[in-house]
Homo-oligomer: A and B are copies of this chain.
Amino acid sequence: MTTTKKTYHHGDLKITLIQAASDLLHKEGANALSMRKLADIVGVSRTAPYHHFKDKNALLCAIAANGFEQQTERLRQLINQQDHSEETFKKYVFLYIHFAQQQSELYDLMYGRTLWQTGTPNDSLKIASRQAFKCWIDWVEALQKNGVLTSSNTPLRVGQATWASLHGLARFLIDGIYIDEENVTEMAEQMLEMMILKHSLV
């Protein structure tokens, strides 16, 4: 039943595969993540994983969906705190960038073209990602009401524009182009300055 036993039937191969794949992704990158190597690590034949995942795309979708569920959870906690202040927003921005850097391979899988453009995002991935996005929009709406973000446009538009900006910074960092990592904080702060409403103390 457990992983260590060497029976013909593995028992919980599906979960084991997702875990091993997530691990391999984190440690060695998406490029090193092959179905065959994965099967080898788990101690099973090359094609065994195909009885639990239609193809490699399906496996990757499962990992990415996990990532979105975690992100939704983190966002939910923020919203439930009922503290829709500038400080909390800033904290989340730095947390977001930090997540992208620490889990760059997972981030790329979640937001990259591997699944959304080249591959085919399955339903559970679509649902998980939409949930995370909806959560973000809801929070943006709360921040608008608190005068942290501009109300000159709908929560959807402001949410799209801000998230896209964050995403761009995250990508520049994890894709290794242009930007020296030393000054991440300064860049994020400059970005925040453009996002956050200036209140003229009349």
Contact = CB atoms under 8 A, between A and B. Distances in A.
Interface in A150-169: 150, 152-153, 157-158, 160-169
A201 to B, nearest CB: 13
A164 B187 contact: yes
A26 B172 CA distance: 23
Contacts of A190: 153, 157-158, 160-161
Interface string A112-123: 110011100000
A50 interface: no
Contacts of A200: 200
A13 to B, nearest CB: 29
Given A129-B177, A167-B172, A169-B168, A161 B113 contact: no
A175 B129 contact: no
A35 interface: no
